[in-house]
Amino acid sequence: MHFVEVILPLSLAKTFTYSVSEAEFHYIKKGMRVAVPFGKSKIYTALVIEIHQNKPSLYEAKEIHQILDEKPIVTEIQITHWQWIASYYMCAIGDVYRGAMPSALLLESETVISQKQDLFVDQSLLSDDEFLVYEALQQQSSLKVQDIISILNKKNIFPVIQKLIDKNIVVLQEEISESYKPKLVRYVRLHSKYDSNAGLGELLETLKNANKQKEIVLSYFQLSATEKTRGEAERSGAKPITVKKLVEAAHSSSAIIKALIEKEIFEDYFLQEDRVNFNGKIREEELQLSQAQQTAFEEIKNSFTQKEVCLLHGVTSSGKTEIYIKLIEEYIDSGKQVLYLLPEIALTTQLVGRLRTYFGNKVAVFHSKYNNNERIEVWNQVLVNSEKAQVVLGARSALFLPFHNLGFVIVDEEHEQTFKQVDPAPRYHARDAAVVLANSHKAKVLLGSATPSIETYFNAKSEKYGLVEISKRFGNVMMPNIELVDLKDKYFRKRMTGHFSDVLIEEINTALSLGEQVILFQNRRGYSPIIECITCGHVPQCQQCDVSLTYHKHKNQLRCHYCGYTMAKPTHCHSCSSVDLTTKGFGTEQIEQELISIFPNSKTGRMDQDTTRGKFGFEKIIDSFKNREIDILVGTQMLAKGLDFDNVTLVGIMNADNMLYHPDFRAFERSFQMMTQVAGRAGRSEKQGKVIIQTYNPNHNTIQQVTNNDYLGMYKEQLYDRQIYKYPPYFRIIKLTLKQRDFDKLKEGTMWLYQVMSQNLNMPVLGPEEPAINRIRNEYIRTIIIKIPQNTSIVNTKKTIQKILNSFEAVAQYRAIKVTLNVDFY
Ligand code: ADP
Ligand code: ZN
Ligand code: ZN
């Protein structure tokens, strides 16, 4: 009797036993995938985690359909790590497996495939089976795996589909609806006719009478000559010359380049930016660290001799990235793999260029927005420890790659809440999960931030982590000078134009007159958050959620930011029919409108969820701001994420108060981080930057701490509150969210659960609470918060919680209530 124990990619906590033949038994290794039947007629890609001879006692083991791999594609360290995630974050191991693997490695009977668009297929290269599938796709736009099983008249078809995916002939349906559009950058080069120098004289001769065209060609030569030594293009790792750059250098227009392309003097070509194969030169001269950086670098290495994790607390623009680069160098020189985690996918493009200047093709990028082929490519490179993926840059999911030889993990901007996955399970924190992963590789972890999270700083102060601090900016640039503007006073003395104080307007004018750029921060998108009836006070609400609708002027609609529901802007009050409607509060869209009328001669741009919807929308705006096509950029917290613009000297925070008064124990910490980070975008190169904060509460402690760059003051005050009110780092928080459409049943069920929890757990249990937004998409919501004290066993507490949840699920009338658990809720 021979069996394998497998994980299924379903929300199931159990593993399952399948039977295999003796030959299969000897062939299969842990970490290989097998196709297995499950339920009545489904087939899934399961992961083998054990090979054994113990017959299951509760059910008859079914046979596997097929072995899918020749070698393990998941390592034992990964399996252990995934099991840790499942147990710590209280979710099913199947959820972790499903979340960790690129979906093309998890084919199942429900998977739908389609033919790739605009494709030339050389049919002679297809096997018979592949051809049959291909042919069927000429008749039907998409096929289910089930259909293919009947077309090929056999069960074992995953390898056939896998081959077609590898050959770039078919894609999974989900990707099509995602409409993945990689950013393509347009480059020019001399037409191949002019490959040899011989043609050049002749070329210039033909342009004798076309001065503008000749100028461009000369600029092109100049650029390709200087390119080799220094400059931006080298930093971005691309020796080729972009159309944009050439237009700039020649002070010309793309129309003239177009003419040259038509004349076959130039030809253009496109490269996908973050996938550009590095063909530039690796920087030859060594990176010179400043004295402060060098000291920090040595302190970090020293700390690593004693501790596994070190926090690098360096003010904004202190040059943390360069310290990372120096450290990475040491680890890859000794043959180790390096993982570099970022909070935001959009930041990878900026950074990948910077890293490739030093490490060339050893840098790979991995994130969920890549298509399956690209993700599988990186997965395999990491698996075989290829040089091409020695440094992996990615957002939180890069944590799940099959590292063999991980030596060093960087978590940049470690305080960012985007490291915590909210939905679906596993609701893990990538920073914390990275520390655990590193531990099993005996690798070191560096957490970097200008505004560390309270938890991390606490770990550093209590000497669990090492702590290295840099308090000066690189190049001795001064920290920005922060000025507070009291809004109450300004409104009273009628010194406001729209939402702009006279001080802010004057500073913007000064910056613009010097050719410098401005960033304005407003933590709300839309035009103005709500429309209110002056007569009766009615505010239009979403029909499905318990929130007010937000007014978007551009589309003249009201929109729900939770479910996407929209309606046209009403002309009269739906409650009393009055036509006296007014807007209250303001968002980025309104700020942008006001800018246009106050500064009619400058170019404005807006960066928020509405303008960055497309996959690369974010980068487009960043690029045009970098290229100075935008003078004033207004945006939401997206602006606070570690961007480096050298020409920004002024940052304005339109209203500091709405951040401060969020009903959340992290509100002050977050406000401090957000304002300090946004302020940190000012004055990064030579000139000292200026920050204007408009507020009704200039004396608020948090605002004072931001103004005085007083991280420690903020930390101490918050820590004190956290202790008194029983929050992290003194207590671990588990948040239970219960949802159901039936309000009364939900109320009853939540009360039951709350009472059993508080009777059986010897610790604070809060609730059942109605959250500020208590209905989303027609489901009512209640929450329960459990606070586990530091000195209590987390493992035992979670066991008790799980037991109670099991009995809750066994109660028939509560079965319709959905419960989700968020451990270390952020
Ligand atoms: P941080 O990540 O700490 O905010 P960065 O690493 O982005 O800071 O550095 C800020 C700026 O200073 C960047 O433009 C960077 O290129 C420059 N810089 C930092 N260190 C060096 C160095 N050793 N040599 C040259 N330029 C540096
Ligand atoms: Zn009304
Ligand atoms: Zn809604």
363-396 pLDDT per residue, tens: 999 987 777 778 888 999 999 999 999 999 999 9
pLDDT at 196 (0 to 100): 58
Given a cut of 90, whether residue 402 has pLDDT beyond it is: yes
Range 349-370 average pLDDT = 85
Between helix 158-166 and helix 128-139 the angle, nearest 10°, is 80
Range 330-352 average pLDDT = 89
Residue 468, helix vs strand vs coil: strand
Residue 775: which pLDDT band, with cuts at 50, 70 and 90? confident
Contact 296, 322 (CB under 8 A): no
State whether the beta carbon of 171 lies less than 6 angstroms from ligand 1: no
State whether the beta carbon of 608 lies less than 6 angstroms from ligand 1: no
Consult the annotation and say whether 310 binds a ligand: no
CB burial of 319-345 (b: ≥16 within 10 Å; e: otherwise) equals: bbbbbbbbbbbebbeeebbbbbbbbbb
Percent of the chain with pLDDT over 70: 93
pLDDT at 24 (0 to 100): 95
Residue from 232, 451, 474, 639 to probe ligand 1 pocket by mutation (most atoms less than 8 Å from CB): 474
Range 156-174 average pLDDT = 83
| Interatomic CA distance for residues 605 and 573, integer angstroms | 33
Residue 616: which pLDDT band, with cuts at 50, 70 and 90? low
Given a cut of 90, whether residue 546 has pLDDT beyond it is: no
pLDDT at 642 (0 to 100): 63
| Interatomic CA distance for residues 728 and 796, integer angstroms | 19
Q: What six digits make up the tokens of 559?
A: 């929109």
Given a cut of 70, whether residue 226 has pLDDT beyond it is: no
Given a cut of 90, whether residue 174 has pLDDT beyond it is: no
Residue 643: which pLDDT band, with cuts at 50, 70 and 90? confident
Contact 618, 350 (CB under 8 A): no
Given a cut of 70, whether residue 685 has pLDDT beyond it is: yes
Q: What six digits make up the tokens of 120?
A: 């030339």
Contact 754, 765 (CB under 8 A): yes
The residues, ordered by sequence, that sit 6+ positions from 789 with a Cβ below 8 Å of its Cβ are 726, 730, 731, 763
Q: What six digits make up the tokens of 420?
A: 């915590």
pLDDT at 140 (0 to 100): 82
| Interatomic CA distance for residues 260 and 225, integer angstroms | 20
State whether the beta carbon of 644 lies less than 6 angstroms from ligand 1: yes
Helix (H) or strand (E) holding 798: helix 794-810
- As a whole number of Å, the CA-based R_g of the chain is 29
Range 610-633 average pLDDT = 80
According to DSSP, residue 457 is labeled: H
According to DSSP, residue 570 is labeled: P
Given a cut of 70, whether residue 440 has pLDDT beyond it is: yes
Contact 233, 227 (CB under 8 A): yes
Q: What six digits make up the tokens of 518?
A: 């401005």
Q: How many CB atoms lie within 10 A of CB 120?
A: 4
Residue of minimum CA distance from atom 15 in ligand 1: 319
Q: Is the previous residue joined to 159 through a cis bond, with omega within 30 degrees of 0? A: no
| Interatomic CA distance for residues 413 and 400, integer angstroms | 19
pLDDT at 237 (0 to 100): 37
CA of 247: how far to CAs of 215, 473, 595, in Å? 10, 34, 29
The residues, ordered by sequence, that sit 6+ positions from 693 with a Cβ below 8 Å of its Cβ are 482, 483, 484, 485, 652, 653, 656, 675, 703, 706, 707
Let me know the angle formed at the C-alpha of 732 by 730 and 733, rounded to the nearest 5 degrees: 130
Q: What six digits make up the tokens of 711?
A: 């991280």
pLDDT at 589 (0 to 100): 85
Q: Residue type for 201, please?
A: G
765 versus 531: the higher-pLDDT residue is: 765
Distance 422 CA to ligand 3 centre (A): 19
Taking a 5 Å cut-off on Cβ, the residues next to ion ligand 2 are 533, 535-536, 538, 573, 575-576, 578
pLDDT at 240 (0 to 100): 73
Owner of token pair 């042919």: 135
Given a cut of 60, whether residue 229 has pLDDT beyond it is: no
Given a cut of 70, whether residue 527 has pLDDT beyond it is: no
Q: What is the pLDDT of residues 711-734, one digit of tens each?
A: 999 999 999 999 998 999 999 999
Distance 659 CA to ligand 2 centre (A): 29
The Cβ-side half-sphere exposure at 812, using a 13 Å CA radius, reads 0
Given a cut of 60, whether residue 182 has pLDDT beyond it is: no
Instruction: Give the per-residue SS3 of 87-111.
Output: HHCCCCHHHHHHHHCCHHHCCCCCC
Q: How far is CA 380 from the centre of its chain?
A: 22
State whether the beta carbon of 236 lies less than 6 angstroms from ligand 1: no
Residue 228: which pLDDT band, with cuts at 50, 70 and 90? very low
According to DSSP, residue 523 is labeled: S
State whether the beta carbon of 322 lies less than 6 angstroms from ligand 1: yes
Q: What six digits make up the tokens of 103?
A: 């979906």
Q: What is the pLDDT of residues 254-284, one digit of tens each?
A: 888 888 888 888 888 776 555 545 555 566 6
Q: Please state whether 160 falls in left (phi above 0), alpha (psi between -120 and 50) or beta.
A: alpha
277 versus 744: the higher-pLDDT residue is: 744
247 versus 94: the higher-pLDDT residue is: 94
Residue 176: which pLDDT band, with cuts at 50, 70 and 90? very low
Residue 357: which pLDDT band, with cuts at 50, 70 and 90? confident
Q: Is the sign of the CA dihedral 238, 243, 247, 248 positive or negative?
A: negative
State whether the beta carbon of 472 lies less than 6 angstroms from ligand 1: no
Residue of minimum CA distance from atom 14 in ligand 1: 644
Q: What is the pLDDT of residues 40-57, one digit of tens each?
A: 888 899 999 999 999 999
639 versus 164: the higher-pLDDT residue is: 164
Residue 735: which pLDDT band, with cuts at 50, 70 and 90? very high
Residue 221, helix vs strand vs coil: helix
Given a cut of 60, whether residue 227 has pLDDT beyond it is: no
Consult the annotation and say whether 91 binds a ligand: no
Q: What six digits make up the tokens of 244?
A: 């944009």
Residue 248: which pLDDT band, with cuts at 50, 70 and 90? confident
Mean pLDDT of the chain: 87
Q: Is the sign of the CA dihedral 540, 542, 545, 550 positive or negative?
A: negative
State whether the beta carbon of 288 lies less than 6 angstroms from ligand 1: yes
Which ligand sits closest to the CA of 577? 2
CA of 386: how far to CAs of 77, 249, 356, 443, 521, in Å? 18, 38, 16, 18, 43
Residue 31, classified by CB atoms within 10 Å of its CB into exposed (0-12), middle (13-18) or buried (19+), is buried
- Closest C-alpha to 274, from 375, 350, 371: 350
DSSP string for 259-316: HHHHTTSEEEEEEEGGGPPP-SPPP-SPP---HHHHHHHHHHHHHHTT-SEEEEEE-T
| Interatomic CA distance for residues 44 and 248, integer angstroms | 54
Instruction: Give the per-residue SS3 of 711-738.
Output: HHHHHHHHHHHHHHCCCCCCEEEEEEEE
Which of ligand 1's atoms lies nearest the C-alpha of 475?
Answer: 12
Q: What six digits make up the tokens of 701?
A: 């402690």
Q: What is the pLDDT of residues 496-511, one digit of tens each?
A: 999 999 999 999 999 9
Residue 416: which pLDDT band, with cuts at 50, 70 and 90? very high
Residue 118: which pLDDT band, with cuts at 50, 70 and 90? low
Q: What is the pLDDT of residues 442-463, one digit of tens each?
A: 999 999 999 999 999 999 999 9
Q: What six digits make up the tokens of 33?
A: 């995938």
Phi, psi of 17 (to 5 degrees): -105, 130
Given a cut of 80, whether residue 144 has pLDDT beyond it is: yes
pLDDT at 292 (0 to 100): 95
Helix (H) or strand (E) holding 346: helix 346-359
Given a cut of 70, whether residue 250 has pLDDT beyond it is: yes
Contact 426, 91 (CB under 8 A): yes
pLDDT at 243 (0 to 100): 85
